[in-house]
Structure 1
Amino acid sequence: MINKNLHATDAAVADVQDGATIMIGGFGPAGQPYALLEALVRHRPRNLTLISNNAGNGDSGLAALLKADCVGKIICSFPRQTDSWIFDDLYRRGRIELELVPQGTLVARIQAAGCGYGGIYTPTGFGTELAAGKETREINGRQYVLEMPLRADFALIEAERGDSWGNLVYRKAARNFGPIMAMAAACTVAEVHFLASPGELDPEAVVTPGIFVQRVVVTDHRTTPLLT
């Protein structure tokens, strides 16, 4: 079996090129791959397209990547929050492009890519500006909008445990977008807090099989504190 464990986050993102499309896991801070994002900031690719749930929190993680002027476009559901001042500033100055996608549609489009579908029909957004220029059709008396799959060159995700084969186990809500993003990217990089030996993980607990993961790196950057 291939050993997918890398010993440094910088090596894990070293081949991310200018103009790449990258999926970033996380529901706000929960499940966000902070260590990989810090490495990406050091690498400094330009004109990235990001696919994520939101547009960053505070000054770290995803927000730091935006602040480093690495991102040309972001596709997300929740670009504005009380602590999204970096995105707000970039957007108001015309320094970043936004594609706003309803959260359910965002999930479905990512899933469509992972499953190999050519697109999905959804009633969400019909009759609004979100449907402008898109194909629509009536199905069983209801109007639907055709949405295209969302694919990426890389997916950066966080998991609680992984093994050198790439099998991943998540912790509670930190799972969020990780499993579907892993399926929709050409190269999935997972940062994990614990590295298990091959065969040590309970197969019943594995959510993302190693076939969808190309690189695993161990970090001590925890975004979801353990309960005591």
Structure 2
Amino acid sequence: MPKKTFLKLTPEKQQRILNAAADEFIEYKDQYEKSSVNRIADRAGISVGSIYKYFYDKDDLFFCVFNSNKAQPQTLAESDTLYDYSKKEIGLDLEASQVGNDLANIIFQNTSLFQGLVFSDTATPDYLEKLKDYLAKDQKRGILKDGIDLEVAAYLYSTIEFNAYQYCIAHDLDFSKDTEILRKMTDMFFFGIYRDDAEAKIKKE
């Protein structure tokens, strides 16, 4: 997230910086590491020092640009269970701008950026609290196994997207397969891989 100093700028200056950064990142979309904060500052007509007054580093600037260009979903309606919520979340069909799509592709090509997006952006305290609230409700309904640590379960759920991405990388799969893998991993999270009577069978062996 940008620093408070950036949020105090006029909307026109904010947009000028974000547009300059988007142009730079997209120009170097196949070589993100070669994109330059210096050139972004030149494009925006500000000093390099100002960039670091507004953002913590280049990745922070990138995520700010990405968030301003990505497709914004309608507020996701509350669901009865975390499982229902997850299906709605995975099934969101969003229309992004061309700039948003280009920036998303940069993330998919860079493991460190995707990891930062998941663990520094998606897995925020607010998001984890939302997941824990769902899990607590599911626990009260009696549909969770006994002894589940809600905090650990919420964190584990929040990492599934990253794991699906890593699976696609490891198996050289097109990223169009990411949603399919994500659905499979989500089902494994909720329902496990052992049969209901597996525990008793394992303890007998």
Query: What is the TM-score normalised by the length of structure 2?
Result: 0.25
Higher strand share: 1
Q: Which protein, 1 or 2, shows the higher relative CO under an 8 Å CA cutoff with sep ≥ 6?
A: 1
Higher helix share: 2
Query: What is the TM-score normalised by the length of structure 1?
Result: 0.24
